[in-house]
Structure 1
């Protein structure tokens, strides 16, 4: 928010100097980012009129001007500005005046005397425009000091506002905070209703419910739209970062900056009526004031005339009904729109407007009528006209209503750590525009309708703290007993998982929780995604449904920067849409992605690319932290490589699917512009971290027996199915199964493979006999033969 210092002082008179004012603004949370001083030391600079301008006899780019400076005899000035011409009113620095670091003296330029200097706005420190002389209105008083005429010296102050302080997007809103901090009073503002002298009206219809619960309009006939914007208004706009356009447009901008209420002016003769507000219909098109044509849908609010869209509510007006110099009858409008109905709409169109910036954060719902009255008075005073009656449509049940808040004296003292005097508390709150009533134990406070950010007791405590002064709050150590929560033995800490992966040569990544919708489409993971109402950019428009898309994108950025071996992991949440009106479902997950060699470059062993089994080893190490037993089953995930990916199940203590592991599909890698294989896993965190309480068991006093068998099984049967059969058939004597060899080639029929397995058998109560072992092995082979068509390899 940028504004004129003098304008602010008009609303809150104060003796505080500029530096003090800037320091106070920052101290109360309205951080001052820049203070640009304007028009300092303009003694000797006056308003002057060029009577004639003749070509310099010795220079093509210079002119010899006769200038009326209000001193009787015209002065001769040599000027090189391209816009110097007879009749122009411009600033003149007389002999002896200082312009910047230059003291003006009488001089000869190419043999011609010059007694002063006609100035540009930049030379005077008023504006950045150095293209020519500063052009003043024709009715500017010749000979008058320029500083007095332009209201100088002044300063353009720019403050940085937090999103909750929408009330300070106006000079008057800032004035309340300054008055409270400096012990002043906000000056009265004339918003007296202007009596109607005409009968012209336009009916108003509200069709958007709670999205647009108030709309106020007024017709003013016989306006002189060609009148020039007064200097005082134009200068305040410029110093607030707004370029004057035309009087009727400038009035709406001026009221918005002063009061905080965005407004719009329509050419009444281009409207049929009634004027309405409704949701736009899909496919409707509208040409905006900036000349672009946009296609609307049901997410936008449209201002309509006889049901045709004529403006984009809360964002920008339409080209077809704009005011011009030919306008004679104007329709002024001011409305209240719910922030949720406006937020993000201008960004969808790739634009940013002052109106949308304010409506997105919240505008005082009681302000539209006041703004209409103030704007009406300005139009009548400067451009004339006959105002009709104010027409207002409102849905009171949908308008935000301030509610009283109880501020307890004891609670205030406890939170702040000091006792603020009762009189000071009441003064601060009343200076901020709040109604304060003394009650037992504290105060009952009703915030003004413009303060959307004040809703609970803590908000009032914050107001007292920032105005009383954070530097006045003592620094004390917290007291009382600290409650220490013991970590649960039934859950593995996330830091343990982090440490385990770091120990296995991974780096932790932190990715955005929102991603590009197109990225999720590549992964075929867009189902159930949650779109953002107000995304930071189009590339960050939806909440992630998986961790891997963002993690693999980060891996790709590392590969693009000459990192040939990348191993990343992330712990974070994914989001899925719930039912209408419900919050998204959040699920904590852990994911990892790798590319490149299995080991860092070294001399001890030959380089080889990391594969599925390397990644599985890393995952098994995580499972071991929780004592989990994992099972890997064939996966049909669309992002996974067929035959090189698996679903991960936890099978101890009941079956639960944890997630996915494997190599990414080549088609996905091409879409992501990645070369070479990329592997990854993604698991739900809660079931992975579940851990049974460790219970000690005695070691068996009896020896185990190992029996190795080699059998031939069809290629189509996965090892996980074979292992499950072996464990089931082996019964309680089988304590461990070890696969130690896989063979394809001579002696093995096509479509089959030979698997060599070590069977570890053990009984904790006795020594096993050869008969016990033979019976167990026979049961295992019979089960493999019956269930999978396997046979002992000869």
Structure 2
């Protein structure tokens, strides 16, 4: 929000300079983002009148002007401006004047004619980019007066960066209220004489949507002169507040909005057929706005209609059909209170914004509608003339301002201040907040213009702002620290990240909202959770899998000439689940588990001379997963299964203690081709809750007895998995006390006879056997191996390979 300091000081004039005033506003939460003077520095420029203009004897485009600068002696100045004419009042840079950019004016001779100064355009003075001619001043401007003083060019323009909750400060009156409360300076009331009605003309208005419009006021004014000149003082204030002058009626409407925070609209009453109706739009209705944009209205957009013709988007922007022009003579002046919820987001939906919608969607004072329209009526009559009709004011449904309670002791604890009751009373009085006190509990009635006062913390914030954030002592809080020992079996997110980094993976953080195609392709989810207001059209749904983001990371790195990528992400996913209920950390119907996912693409190892280049495969990533799980690895099983994102023959479901916990496998060839990866990355995704608890390490004494190593190779059917054989061997060892000498079982070779027609494979196991109490003899070892082979024969039809 822009406003000139001089305008603010007409309402409240504290004993502060510009810098101190800006600092006070900033420290009170109304951040002054920038201050700059209206005009850049220059000196020696005065108001002058051109007394006479004669052609230049030696140049067609130059003229010799006799200029009165108030000194009593006419000056001869050569000027090439096309609008130089007798009687024109313009700025004159005298000899010795310093202009913006360092230009210094001296006596010169132009084409043989002496020139004692320079007549200036707005651009030469740094006031605007207009350089088509001389800057024309008012005909009654005092000749000889310093231009900076006459145009108040030392005025400062403030740029406020307001937070969305402070809609009451989107006006000069609102900022003045804050300054008065901060400084204690008296605030002047808006003094004007209301215009007495002189005609009985009325316009019928029917409000059909009380949830759209809570109050509607308006009046008819006939015989206005729309071609009247906007006063220079009003133009100046508008320009310094960032508004350009358009016409008298439009300028007055904008001026009232900036001064009082009251957006209004002026209709050309002759272009309205019948009365007005305030309602919600109907399907299929369209409207051409004042900006020239044609919009297709939706049923949740409020409109003002005349019969079946829509004339305006309620609280947002008027329509072109009933806009005032320079030929307008009869107008209808409208002011209303529109419910913020009915305006929020509607303008952004149509990809534009307006000053009115910016204010109405944040909340505009609903109590002063008639008074503000009376003030606007006075301005219209004074500037444009006209006959005024009675003011109609319909109160339909105004907001209920519930009292807000603030406990004094609560305020003290939050702010860390030993505030006296009288201090808080003074603060609320300065803020013009009506209150009562019961047992040190302040009961405040929020004013009609303060939509941000709803809960106790809002009032505490008000106390802190007016008391002064700088006055609050900078004392660190003191609290007794109680250190809690974490369970040794718990593996938190930080430890999981450390383990993944140690396995040569780099962490990535992706958006939780993704493309809808990712959910369909990588998760088989045809009904994802959709965002109501996505930040981008392609990020419209919540993710139920982390795989899509990792594939996108790999594709991005590949396009930037990275040949080996290993990434992981630890984050939440979001799925529909009707069993989930609302809670402190949960939303009804939405399950939000934390997942850990990783992807490896490219060579299994960094390029080096000692190892040939080999692409990463399923077992490389499975090995990383086993290392990650540590003591939990014994609880994990990989069961062949099909997943939408994974290769149908190279994927497995991860089970922990027999329960599904995630997936592991190569990316499906279809998605590899779609992402143009060339080769398939191997990915896994696992539920963090399933792997966060690990078993405590069991301590064992080291045995001094030697270890015996025996190998056993068996033929089994191709359908028999290694896991099935290992489970059988493990159960056999556990069930026979004589086999407890088996300390370790490992698979070290798999071989198939490709030339043979049989459907068998050979698996070779290596057994480490040890008796911690005594040296093993051959008989005990042989008996153990026979028992293990016999178990494989019985359960899987295995036969020993010769």
SS of 2:378's equivalent in the other structure is: helix
The question of 1:611 aligning with 2:617 is answered yes
Is the Cα contact below 8 Å between 1:627 and 1:691 reproduced in 2? no
SS of 1:382's equivalent in the other structure is: helix
Deviations 1:218-272 (A, max 9, x none): 4433332222322222222221222222233323322232233433333333333
Of 158-167 and 628-637, deviating more is 628-637
Is the Cα contact below 8 Å between 1:530 and 1:576 reproduced in 2? no
1:450-599 paired onto structure 2 within 5 Å: 450-489=449-488, 491-515=490-514, 523=522, 527-533=527-533, 535-538=534-537, 540-576=539-575, 585-599=591-605
Question: Could you say which residue in structure 2 is the equivalent of 1:631?
Answer: 637
Rate the CA distance shift 1:358–1:737 in 2: closer, same or farther, 3 A.
farther
Question: Could you say which residue in structure 2 is the equivalent of 1:746?
Answer: 754
Question: Could you say which residue in structure 1 is the equivalent of 2:17?
Answer: 17
The Cα shift of 1:99 comes to: 3.7
CA–CA distance in structure 1, aligned partners of residues 305 and 609 of structure 2: 76
Question: Could you say which residue in structure 1 is the equivalent of 2:132?
Answer: 132
Question: Could you say which residue in structure 1 is the equivalent of 2:403?
Answer: 404
Question: Could you say which residue in structure 1 is the equivalent of 2:332?
Answer: 331
CA–CA distance in structure 1, aligned partners of residues 117 and 795 of structure 2: 111
SS of 2:663's equivalent in the other structure is: strand
Of 425-434 and 191-200, deviating more is 191-200
The Cα shift of 1:630 comes to: 2.7
Rate the CA distance shift 1:213–1:103 in 2: closer, same or farther, 3 A.
same
CA–CA distance in structure 1, aligned partners of residues 516 and 552 of structure 2: 14
The Cα shift of 1:18 comes to: 0.9
Match of 2:606 among 572, 579, 600: 600
CA–CA distance in structure 1, aligned partners of residues 727 and 53 of structure 2: 103
Is the Cα contact below 8 Å between 1:631 and 1:648 reproduced in 2? yes
Is the Cα contact below 8 Å between 2:89 and 2:141 reproduced in 1? no
CA–CA distance in structure 2, aligned partners of residues 363 and 512 of structure 1: 36
CA RMSD of aligned residues (A): 4.3
Question: Could you say which residue in structure 2 is the equivalent of 1:354?
Answer: 355
The Cα shift of 1:188 comes to: 1.4
Question: Could you say which residue in structure 1 is the equivalent of 2:3?
Answer: 3
Rate the CA distance shift 1:220–1:410 in 2: closer, same or farther, 3 A.
same
Rate the CA distance shift 1:754–1:137 in 2: closer, same or farther, 3 A.
farther
SS of 2:259's equivalent in the other structure is: helix
Question: Could you say which residue in structure 2 is the equivalent of 1:444?
Answer: 443
1:75-224 paired onto structure 2 within 5 Å: 76-81=76-81, 84=84, 90-94=90-94, 98-100=98-100, 101-102=102-103, 104-105=105-106, 107-125=108-126, 127-133=127-133, 135-136=135-136, 141=141, 143=143, 145=145, 146-147=147-148, 150-190=151-191, 196=197, 197-207=199-209, 210=211, 212-224=213-225
Is the Cα contact below 8 Å between 1:315 and 1:346 reproduced in 2? yes
Rate the CA distance shift 1:645–1:313 in 2: closer, same or farther, 3 A.
farther
Rate the CA distance shift 1:452–1:282 in 2: closer, same or farther, 3 A.
same
Question: Could you say which residue in structure 2 is the equivalent of 1:758?
Answer: 765
Question: Could you say which residue in structure 1 is the equivalent of 2:373?
Answer: 372
The Cα shift of 1:778 comes to: 5.1
The question of 1:682 aligning with 2:685 is answered yes
Question: Could you say which residue in structure 2 is the equivalent of 1:231?
Answer: 232
The Cα shift of 1:500 comes to: 0.4
The Cα shift of 1:25 comes to: 1.9
SS of 2:600's equivalent in the other structure is: strand
Task: In structure 1, list runs of 5 or more residues that go unmatched.
Answer: none
Is the Cα contact below 8 Å between 2:51 and 2:68 reproduced in 1? yes
The Cα shift of 1:472 comes to: 1.6
Is the Cα contact below 8 Å between 2:729 and 2:788 reproduced in 1? no
Rate the CA distance shift 1:32–1:275 in 2: closer, same or farther, 3 A.
same
Deviations 1:752-771 (A, max 9, x none): 56251639799999998978
Question: Could you say which residue in structure 2 is the equivalent of 1:659?
Answer: 662
1:422-441 paired onto structure 2 within 5 Å: 422-441=421-440
Rate the CA distance shift 1:260–1:667 in 2: closer, same or farther, 3 A.
farther
Rate the CA distance shift 1:737–1:223 in 2: closer, same or farther, 3 A.
farther
SS of 1:159's equivalent in the other structure is: strand
Rate the CA distance shift 1:514–1:426 in 2: closer, same or farther, 3 A.
farther
- TM-score (norm. length: structure 1): 0.84
SS of 2:173's equivalent in the other structure is: helix
CA–CA distance in structure 1, aligned partners of residues 393 and 726 of structure 2: 78
Greater Rg over alpha carbons, structure: 2
Deviations 1:346-390 (A, max 9, x none): 444443433343344444444555543433332232223344444
- TM-score (norm. length: structure 2): 0.83
CA–CA distance in structure 2, aligned partners of residues 692 and 416 of structure 1: 47
Rate the CA distance shift 1:142–1:184 in 2: closer, same or farther, 3 A.
closer
The Cα shift of 1:503 comes to: 0.9
Is the Cα contact below 8 Å between 1:12 and 1:179 reproduced in 2? yes
Is the Cα contact below 8 Å between 2:88 and 2:139 reproduced in 1? no
CA–CA distance in structure 2, aligned partners of residues 427 and 108 of structure 1: 68
The question of 1:645 aligning with 2:646 is answered no
The Cα shift of 1:420 comes to: 3.4
CA–CA distance in structure 2, aligned partners of residues 315 and 519 of structure 1: 38
Deviations 1:519-559 (A, max 9, x none): 656656573323143x5554555544443444443444444
Is the Cα contact below 8 Å between 1:204 and 1:392 reproduced in 2? no
Question: Could you say which residue in structure 1 is the equivalent of 2:294?
Answer: 293
CA–CA distance in structure 1, aligned partners of residues 330 and 631 of structure 2: 78
Rate the CA distance shift 1:20–1:568 in 2: closer, same or farther, 3 A.
same
CA–CA distance in structure 1, aligned partners of residues 463 and 53 of structure 2: 62
Of 765-774 and 446-455, deviating more is 765-774
SS of 2:249's equivalent in the other structure is: helix
Task: In structure 2, list runs of 5 or more residues that go unmatched.
Answer: none
